[in-house]
């Protein structure tokens, strides 16, 4: 039995963070209803990203910018537990759908707002994307070489982190509601979610410790060398790792002085020699041969997997991590499952809904009759 089967979630969010949060709740069994603008069209529903973010949800269409649509939305709120939105701060209040408006209809409602900078503060209305959040969330400063410009993270992972924290916030609010029956407004900032998993440099700064140096080659801890079919990453996290790494590539003399592990300047001085030996060691090996050789000596190593490599990864396939799904318009394909095993998660997987696919079923449940549904559809409200 999925854990959240008794929970009803209304998802009016767009982008990645809100829909991903709603997806996590849907995957755990919550009756999650995706609410979209009836004028939106169905083109996006053949997008693999849309499909991934909206599986296991039911779909209805309601124009919540219209007065009739707002009334319908409030009727849905009266029978729901959670609303997930991602509009610019203040938008819900302008629509008459702010937390106080929703709580007046349903005191137990939990409103989750997930935005770039949160509902308060001087940046709350700033224009942003994942480059902005990478920079202002502290990640860009950590990527790239120390003598070059910072680099943004290449994928908008911070939005998925914000969605994950949003799901945690919702579950905490549900637990808290047991005490007095009252809901709350959960406010998630993608910038803060980004920074939350990068707290270490902030702690170092406050204790007057040197901040981590940007650039792997400069710190001489992680190295990329070329095998016959691509790159291999070699790392060391301790004195034993350093000794084993030197033994792996045949540079035994570099392991004789244990102070090299901590003396960055001296390690920088031997970098050319180390890289020459490591490159010579790797040049006639495949990525997998180099990876397995490193693992035999307990040296942390890795292959920079492509998307195709991950689909063929023996570890992921042994754990049945990829699920085969079917989506109208896209056919059959594989996508990641949730990254943990639990009996509390759904084992079935329903396709992402078309706009308004479940209008009759969901809206009929709040008392709208077929004739009224036809009138609202003709008026563009649903």
Query: How far apart are alpha carbons 288 and 338 in whole angstroms?
Result: 26
Most confident of 147-161, 196-210, 240-254: 240-254
Does residue 278 or residue 268 have the better pLDDT? 278
Higher local confidence (pLDDT), 238 or 292: 292
pLDDT at position 42 over 70: no
Query: Of 249, 271, 306, which residue sits at a domain end?
Result: 306
Instruction: Mark whether 285 and 341 lie in a shared domain.
Output: no
Could you tell me if residue 205 is inside a domain? no
Higher-confidence position of 330 and 275: 275
Rounded to whole angstroms, what are the CA distances from 349 to 26, 54, 55, 345? Answer: 10, 11, 7, 11
CA angle, 19 then 24 then 29, to 5°: 120
Long-range contacts of 42-50 (CB under 8 A, 24+ apart): 42/354, 42/355, 45/329, 45/352, 45/353, 45/354, 45/355, 46/327, 46/329, 46/330, 48/330, 48/333, 48/335, 49/16, 50/352
Q: Is the pLDDT of residue 2 over 80?
A: no
176 & 261 share domain? no
Output the domain CATH number for residue 153: 3.40.50.10540
Dihedral sign from CA coordinates of 94, 98, 26, 133: positive
**Is 298 in the same domain as 230?**
yes
Same domain for 103 and 156?
A: yes
pLDDT at site 216: 47
Q: Residue 312: inside a domain, yes or no? A: no
* 70 vs 82: CA distance, rounded Å: 16
Query: Is 259:333 a contact under the CB 8 Å cutoff?
Result: no
What is the predicted pLDDT for the residue at 360?
95
* Listed range (12-21, 36-45, 204-213) with the worst mean pLDDT: 204-213
Average of pLDDT values for 146-173? 89
Q: Is the Cα torsion angle 102, 59, 171, 129 positive or negative in sign?
A: negative
Residues 291 and 153 in one domain: no
Q: Stretch 20-47: mean pLDDT, rounded? A: 89
Tell me if 203 is assigned to some domain.
no
- Look at residues 306, 340, 356 and tell me which one is the last residue of a structural domain: 306
> Which pLDDT score, from 0 to 100, does residue 264 have?
73
Q: What does the pLDDT look like over 102-142, one tens digit per residue?
A: 999 999 999 999 999 999 999 999 999 988 998 888 888 77
Within the chain, strands assigned E span: 8-11, 31-36, 57-61, 82-85, 110-115, 185-189, 222-227, 230-235, 301-302, 322-327, 331-336
Identify whether residues 82 and 193 lie together within a single domain: yes
Count how many domains the chain has: 2
Same domain as 172, residue 69: yes
Tell me: the pLDDT tens digits for 235-273? Answer: 988 889 999 999 999 999 998 887 777 777 788 888 899
Residue 262's pLDDT is what?
A: 73
Residues 75 and 98 in one domain: yes
Per-residue pLDDT reduced to its tens digit, 357-366 = 999 999 999 9
DSSP states along 205-272: HHTTPPPPPS-HHHHTSEEEEEETTEEEEEE--SHHHHHHHHHHHT-GGGGS-GGGGT-HHHHHHHHH
Going by pLDDT thresholds of 50, 70 and 90, the confidence category of residue 217 is very low
- Residues 155, 272: one domain? no
Q: How many CA atoms lie within 13 A of 6 on its CB side?
A: 3
State which of 243, 273, 306 marks the end of a domain. 306
For residue 317, what are its two tokens? 């396939």
Provide the pLDDT for residue 137.
Answer: 86
- Residue closest to 327 by CA, chosen among 337, 319, 335: 335
- Residue tagged 């042994």 (tokens): 318
Tell me the average pLDDT across 181-194. Answer: 95
Read off the pLDDT band of 144 (50, 70, 90). confident
The pLDDT confidence band at residue 90, using thresholds 50, 70 and 90, is: very high
CA dist 36 and 47 (Å) reads: 16
CATH number at residue 290: 3.30.1540.10
Residue 206 lies in a domain: no
Stronger pLDDT, 209 or 69, i.e. the higher one: 69
22, 98: one domain: yes
Which range is least confidently modeled, 48-52, 81-85, 333-337? 333-337
In which domain, by residue range, is 263 found?
Answer: 221-306
359 domain-assigned: yes
Residue 208 reports pLDDT greater than 80: no
Which of the pair, 108 or 310, is modelled with greater confidence?
108
R_g over Cα of the chain: 26
pLDDT, position 344: 72
* Length in residues, the chain: 382
29: pLDDT strictly greater than 80: yes
Q: 226 with 193: CB under 8 angstroms? A: no
Is residue 350 in some structural domain?
A: yes
pLDDT band at 302 (very low <50, low <70, confident <90, very high): very high
Q: Does residue 63 have a pLDDT over 80?
A: yes
Average pLDDT score over the chain: 89
Other CB atoms within 10 Å distance of the CB of residue 269: 12
Q: Are residues 143 and 239 in the same domain?
A: no
Would residue 152 count as lying in a domain? yes
DSSP notation for 91-113: HHHHTT-SHHHHHHH-TT-EEEE
- pTM equals 0.86
Is residue 210 in some structural domain?
Answer: no
Does pLDDT of 301 surpass 70? yes
Of 233, 226, 224, which is closest to residue 283 (Cα–Cα)? 226
| E strand or H helix at 145 | none
Residue 219 tokens read as 């710190």
Residues 239 and 262 in one domain: yes
In whole angstroms, what is the distance from residue 161 CA to residue 149 CA? 25
């Amino acid at each position: 039995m999925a854990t959240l089967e008794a929970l009803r979630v209304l998802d009016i969010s767009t982008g990645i963070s809100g829909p991903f949060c709603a997806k996590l709740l849907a995957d755990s069994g919550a009756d999650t209803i995706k609410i979209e603008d009836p004028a939106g069209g169905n083109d996006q529903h053949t997008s693999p990203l849309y499909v991934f973010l909206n599986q296991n949800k039911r779909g209805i269409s309601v124009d919540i910018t219209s007065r009739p649509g707002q009334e319908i939305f409030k009727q849905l709120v009266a029978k729901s537990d959670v609303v997930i939105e991602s509009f610019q701060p203040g938008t819900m209040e302008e629509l008459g759908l702010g937390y106080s408006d929703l709580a007046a209809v349903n005191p137990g409602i939990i409103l989750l707002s997930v935005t770039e900078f949160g509902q308060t503060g001087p940046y709350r209305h700033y224009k942003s994307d994942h480059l902005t959040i990478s920079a202002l969330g502290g990640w860009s400063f950590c990527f790239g070489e120390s003598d070059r410009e910072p680099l943004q993270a290449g994928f908008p992972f911070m939005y998925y982190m914000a969605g994950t924290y949003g799901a945690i916030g919702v579950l905490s609010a549900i637990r808290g509601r047991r005490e007095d029956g009252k809901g709350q407004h959960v406010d998630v900032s993608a910038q803060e979610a980004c920074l939350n998993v990068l707290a270490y440099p902030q702690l170092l700064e406050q204790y007057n410790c040197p901040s981590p140096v940007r650039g792997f080659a400069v710190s001489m801890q992680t190295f990329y060398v070329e095998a016959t079919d691509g790159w291999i990453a070699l790392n060391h996290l301790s004195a034993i790792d350093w000794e084993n790494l030197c033994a792996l590539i045949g540079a035994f003399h570099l392991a004789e002085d244990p102070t090299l592990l901590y003396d960055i300047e001296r390690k920088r001085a031997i970098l050319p020699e180390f890289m020459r030996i490591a490159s010579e060691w790797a040049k006639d090996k495949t990525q997998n041969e180099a990876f397995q050789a490193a693992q035999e000596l307990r040296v942390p190593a890795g292959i920079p997997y492509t998307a195709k490599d991950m689909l063929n990864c023996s570890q992921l396939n042994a754990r049945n991590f990829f699920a085969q799904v079917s989506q109208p318009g896209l056919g059959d394909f594989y996508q990641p499952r949730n990254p943990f095993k639990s009996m509390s998660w759904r084992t079935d997987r329903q396709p992402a809904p078309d706009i308004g696919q479940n209008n009759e079923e969901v809206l009929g449940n709040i008392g709208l009759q077929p004739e009224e549904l036809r009138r609202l559809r003709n008026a563009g409200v649903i």
